[in-house]
Amino acid sequence: MAHQQDDNGAVDPATLRPGTLPPEQMDETAATAELAGLAASIAFHDLRYHGEDDPVISDADYDALVARNRALEAAFPALVREDSPSLRVGAPAAVGFGKVRHARPMLSLNNGFTDEDIEDFAARIRRFLSLGEDDELAFTAEPKIDGLSLSLRYEGGRLVQAATRGDGAEGEDVTANIRMVDAVPQSLAGSPPLVLEVRGELYMDKADFQALNASQEAGGAKIFANPRNAAAGSLRQKDPAVTASRRLQFFAYSLGEASAPLAETHMQSLGALGEMGFSINPMSDRRADIAGLLEHYLAIGAARPDLGYDIDGVVYKVDRHDYQERLGQVARAPRWALAHKFPAEQAETLLNAIDIQVGRTGALTPVARLQPVTVGGVVVSNATLHNEDEIRRKDIRVGDRVVIQRAGDVIPQVVRVITEARPADSAEFAFPDSCPECGAPAIRPEGEAVRRCTNSLECPAQRLEWLKHFVSRNAFDIEGLGARQIDQFVELGWIERPADIFRLGERRDALAELDGYGEVSISNLLAAIEARREIAFERMIFALGIRQVGQATARLLALHFDSPGAMMAALAPDADIEATIAELIAIDQVGDSMAADLVGFFANETNRSAVEDLLAQLSVIPPERPSEDSPVSGKTIVFTGTLSGMSRAEAKARAEGLGAKVSGSVSAKTDYLVAGADAGSKARKAAELGVTVLAEEEWLALISD
């Protein structure tokens, strides 16, 4: 694997680099390790971008990770993880606003970078819909606005709710603030459906952004790095009057829930939204083929420098709504849309130093300290170097002039070294073989790109980062207790393990002696801690920071074990290890490597003691079970053979939409095998195991009941 592994066992979330070895040349062990790294890293960056409006890598770096993940999953479909980036969107809703559950998920978009990517996108759609080359397949092409995604709900033609995307399922309720935005209609013209959700992008014009920053600087207030951050920050004001004072704009680009259809095509729907009073991007256009899409992409790219707002690509959407419905979605993105991204921006600067940072699981991460340089209007001074292999591959040395790349308010990557400008006394960088924090040996396991401190939680850096992860937004999310407070309380010796957080109330008098802690702030902090004594089981599991266990996997484990007691018993050191491993692997999307990490975590006496101590402080909420509304909800389905009524991909999508789990292999846990024509070994195995086998017609009858 050619990228830096992280503190969740895969990739240090602040640094990343996709592997360079072609998937077809990799074995399952290497692919499993890299997919784990990609899952953890992309989850981190989703949170920084969508949840905190504070990204730490470039859009191009992020897109490269997503593309690498997609390529590996295509080559190794059996290794797709439950916490795969392809199965999620964005980040959880931020603290400070009420939460809104979206009636229909607000999805992210898959990305394309080359003409071939766009051609492949169209070809996949034709295969899914079983369309011939002569069948019409039209698309729309729209500029991809670099702003903040919003969902606006209208009932009886009047705005009743506005919400951010959040994690795609749940966002922030920003209704009060959005009522202050003149660009958002408060009531709709014409005769809109009784219920209508309009999705679009909130953004700030470049001129308004510059004026805002000038005003902020004059008043000694925060300077925004770019228009997107300014728009997000302006919307997320506790005082709606502040939002009203900022000039925010809105482009409508799609529909959510609607009690009646607006039109048969996406382009017609945009026209209808325009008639209702929404701004529709004037560069949106319908094209009948891929050549037309690529032509429009070039035209939008040429106009980009002169636009009054930031864009970072062009979005293509299948125009027909009935095709969109059939295509559906994967968990993270619709199958019927794709973002064609613009190339990243580059600049040249001096690499002054290389620092080594130690993460939660001991990963040693190199970070370049750069002579500050402006790239695309943003000053950057740090860059990820990913790992020692990356440094060696690019022959990066202190004192080198380097080309860096960015696309947004982010830490860039080092693209290449300008070797002709290298000083004569330049020396290769010597990557340390011991931990710079505690001095313990730092080893590099075979087959991994990461070097790790071997001192586990006895290493102060690892313990500190573990605690920071525990209180992070996706974990316990304790308001008022972030990285800075953890640093302070650890230094004071007040917190050594997570349970100590819940004993901070015993230090109320000592807290009052610290600078910045008055009676109100202390009461608020302790109240926030008390509120987290009741926690969802899956959040508790994720907060433990077990290698390879992301949010989705944590939920799988919570559903499987149902309670901490059952999990602790199954993973006890004196349990039957082989049986435990087999039980874990039987959980969909949990493989050998992840199972080994789970067993290893709970076998560690320090870890187990810390978890037991924590559980004594908590009331853990069991997970919500899947809906029973569908006859196949919660059932495990396997498809085999050739289906006549739809493609295999469409059949799988429909099953998953009804709450079923679709597996690629038959086991004793399979509920139904749906057998099309030419069913082979899977049908034989199903018969041997006594699994119910359904013909395609029987399957369609079952799900139609």
Residue 11 reports pLDDT greater than 80: no
Residue 263 reports pLDDT greater than 90: yes
Q: Which of 56, 70, 157 is nearest to 108 (CA)?
A: 70
pLDDT value at position 174?
Answer: 92
| Lowest-confidence pick of 82-86, 232-236, 369-373 | 82-86
Distance CA 340, CA 91 (A): 22
pLDDT value at position 580?
Answer: 84
pLDDT value at position 639?
Answer: 87
Residue 14 reports pLDDT greater than 80: no
DSSP symbol at 456:
G
Q: How many helices (H) and strands (E) does the chain have?
A: 24, 24
Distance CA 271, CA 267 (A): 6
Please tell me which of 93-102, 250-259, 582-591, 619-628 the model is most confident about, judged by mean pLDDT.
250-259
Helix axes 115-129, 290-303, angle to 10 degrees: 140
pLDDT value at position 625?
Answer: 60
Q: Which residues contact 446 (CB under 8 A, 6 or more apart)?
A: none
| pLDDT, greater one: 261 or 41 | 261
Mean pLDDT computed over every residue of the chain: 86
| Lowest-confidence pick of 6-15, 210-219, 453-462 | 6-15
What length is written for the chain? 705
Q: How far separated are the first and last CA of the chain, in Å rounded?
A: 48
| Lowest-confidence pick of 272-281, 457-466, 497-506 | 457-466
pLDDT value at position 163?
Answer: 95
pLDDT value at position 652?
Answer: 76
User: Average pLDDT in the 485-513 region?
Assistant: 94
Is the four-CA dihedral 188, 191, 193, 198 of positive or negative sign? negative
User: Average pLDDT in the 74-84 region?
Assistant: 75
| Lowest-confidence pick of 27-31, 200-204, 332-336, 503-507 | 27-31
User: Average pLDDT in the 100-129 region?
Assistant: 91
The type of residue at 99 is: K
Please tell me which of 194-203, 630-639, 686-695 the model is most confident about, judged by mean pLDDT.
194-203
Q: What is the pLDDT of residues 37-46, one digit of tens each?
A: 888 888 777 6
pLDDT value at position 644?
Answer: 77
pLDDT value at position 67?
Answer: 81
The proportion of the chain whose per-residue pLDDT surpasses 70, expressed as a percent, equals: 91
User: Average pLDDT in the 276-283 region?
Assistant: 96
Distance CA 651, CA 648 (A): 5
Run of H or E residues at 235 = helix 227-235
Residue 4 reports pLDDT greater than 50: no
User: Average pLDDT in the 634-655 region?
Assistant: 80
Residue 1 reports pLDDT greater than 60: no
pLDDT value at position 52?
Answer: 54
CA angle 156, 161, 164 (to 5 degrees): 140
DSSP symbol at 320:
B
Q: What is the pLDDT of residues 200-251, one digit of tens each?
A: 999 999 999 999 999 888 888 878 878 888 898 889 887 888 888 899 999 9
CA angle 349, 350, 356 (to 5 degrees): 120
Distance CA 661, CA 652 (A): 9
| Lowest-confidence pick of 52-61, 255-264, 442-451 | 52-61
pLDDT value at position 509?
Answer: 93
Distance CA 558, CA 541 (A): 8
Distance CA 189, CA 329 (A): 31
pLDDT value at position 457?
Answer: 77
Q: What is the pLDDT of residues 158-195, one digit of tens each?
A: 999 999 998 788 888 999 999 999 999 999 999 999 99
pLDDT value at position 377?
Answer: 60
Distance CA 73, CA 341 (A): 21
Q: Is the pTM here over 0.85, yes or no?
A: no
CB count in 10 Å sphere of residue 372: 11
Q: Which of 650, 687, 642, 644 is nearest to 666 (CA)?
A: 687
Domains of the chain: 141-164+173-289+300-341 (3.30.470.30), 536-621 (1.10.150.20), 636-704 (3.40.50.10190)
pLDDT value at position 92?
Answer: 53
Residue 95 reports pLDDT greater than 80: no
pLDDT value at position 684?
Answer: 84
- Contact indicator for 348, 405 with CB cutoff of 8 Å: no
Quote the tokens at residue 38: 């990609």
User: Average pLDDT in the 298-327 region?
Assistant: 93
Catalytically active residues, by annotation: 144
pLDDT value at position 3?
Answer: 41
| Lowest-confidence pick of 161-175, 207-221, 398-412, 505-519 | 398-412
pLDDT value at position 8?
Answer: 39
pLDDT value at position 40?
Answer: 80
Run of H or E residues at 345 = strand 345-358
| Lowest-confidence pick of 132-146, 500-514, 579-593 | 579-593
